[in-house]
Amino acid sequence: MKKFLPVILVSLSLMMVLSACSSDEPSYTTVGGLDVMSVTYSKAITDGEPTTITNEFYPTETVYLTVDIHGRPESGIVSAEAYWNDQFVSSVDIDLADVNSGVIVSVGENTYVSITLTPDADWPISKNYTFFVTINGEKLGEYPFTVIPPADAIPSVIDAVALAKDVDEYFNPIDSTTTFAATDPVFLVANGDFGRDTWFNVLWTISGESLVDCNTIIKADQDYPDDGLFFSCEPDAGWPTGEHNVTLFMNDELVGTYPFTVE
């Protein structure tokens, strides 16, 4: 498996169109002086409206977020900021006056503001993406979306996790233990099925303090059925005596925290 740094690079653009509204009585929420009918995630925009509606996307897919505003407002700023966890991804400000200026009367038309978020590299699989949307500085809402594994990837399942003093070529732990000497390397070994684009990271903690130099990320570049992986840490100054731990995550979700003792 190869390592990667999970920093998201994206291209963010916008599209504004007009579309005939339904003959039904519209239902909307007033925010920032504008009447918002809906906010929708989708995989495509067809004739100005969202299609293939979903908030789940594959790692290579473009994310579309559409804000449906009632009528043809002549002014207003729609702002959107995208985050992955607390990492800023991108933002855009849309001035409705750019397309709606000069409109005196509009009957039966809405303004669709569609924000397009395209990754320059694959999205990391995660449930922790969010768009924060405001209108004229007033909060409209927070809209989460999820990046799911590729459709053709095998399901990722961790069958076993162990701490050990070493690991063999088949990713089997050698000298499994939770007690180590100050000069021992500590290995965290995981076995299971790992699908393409699944990623793992570990956080090492010494007496409650993060050991940043040992924090590592691994991504599966293909399917790895019935396989294994490991992370290891061996501080240059040795382990201090006491209680420490290592925490394992898969696809941004906690697998477990594994305590160990140095004597």
Residues 32 and 74 occupy one common structural domain? yes
Residue 230: inside a domain, yes or no?
Answer: yes
pTM value is 0.86
Residues 140 and 252 occupy one common structural domain? no
Residues 143 and 229 occupy one common structural domain? no
Q: What is the pLDDT of residues 16-35, one digit of tens each?
A: 444 445 445 568 899 999 99
Residues 99 and 132 occupy one common structural domain? yes
Residue 217: inside a domain, yes or no?
Answer: yes
pLDDT at 4: 38
Residues 170 and 245 occupy one common structural domain? yes
From first to last of the 263 residues of the chain, give the pLDDT tens digit. Answer: 433 334 444 555 555 444 445 445 568 899 999 999 999 999 998 877 889 999 999 999 999 999 999 988 888 999 999 999 999 999 989 888 876 544 433 445 788 888 889 888 899 999 999 999 999 999 999 999 999 999 999 999 999 999 999 999 999 999 999 999 999 999 999 999 999 999 999 999 998 888 888 999 999 999 999 999 999 999 989 999 999 999 999 999 999 999 999 99
Q: CA-CA distance, 113 to 20, in Å (whole number)?
A: 14
**How do beta strands 209-210 and 138-147 pair?**
unpaired
pLDDT at 13: 53
Residues 129 and 188 occupy one common structural domain? no
pLDDT at 108: 56
pLDDT at 23: 43
Residue 2: inside a domain, yes or no?
Answer: no
Q: CA-CA distance, 19 to 38, in Å (whole number)?
A: 14
Q: What is the pLDDT of residues 103-155, one digit of tens each?
A: 433 445 788 888 889 888 899 999 999 999 999 999 999 999 999 999 999 99
What is the count of structural domains for the chain? Answer: 2
Residue 190: inside a domain, yes or no?
Answer: yes
Q: CA-CA distance, 110 to 128, in Å (whole number)?
A: 31
Residue 1: inside a domain, yes or no?
Answer: no
Residues 142 and 57 occupy one common structural domain? yes
Residues 168 and 39 occupy one common structural domain? no
Domain boundaries, position 232: 157-262
Residues 132 and 174 occupy one common structural domain? no
pLDDT at 112: 84
Could you say which of 147, 179, 210 is where a domain stops? 147
Quickly list DSSP for the chain: -B-------EEEEEEEEEEEPPSSPP--EEETTEEEEEEEEEEEEETTEEEEE-SEE-TTPPEEEEEEEES--S--EEEEEEEETTEEEEEEEEETHHHHTT----SSEEEEEEEEEEESSPPPPEEEEEEEEEETTEEEEEEEEEE---TTSPPPEEEEEEEEEEE-TTS-EEEE-SEE-TT--EEEEEEEEE-TT-EEEEEEEETTEE-GGG-EEEE-SS-EEEEEEEEEE--TT-PPSEEEEEEEEETTEEEEEEEEEE-
Residue 104: inside a domain, yes or no?
Answer: yes
**Residue 4's CB: how many other CB atoms inside 10 A?**
14
Residue 67: give its domain's CATH number.
Answer: 2.60.40.10
Could you say which of 104, 128, 147 is where a domain stops? 147
Quickly list DSSP for 179-221: EE-TT--EEEEEEEEE-TT-EEEEEEEETTEE-GGG-EEEE-S
Residues of the chain above pLDDT 90, percent? 68
Residues 202 and 128 occupy one common structural domain? no
Could you say which of 115, 147, 179 is where a domain stops? 147
Residues 65 and 175 occupy one common structural domain? no
Q: CA-CA distance, 209 to 205, in Å (whole number)?
A: 5
Q: CA-CA distance, 255 to 192, in Å (whole number)?
A: 13
Residues 92 and 128 occupy one common structural domain? yes
Residue 222: inside a domain, yes or no?
Answer: yes
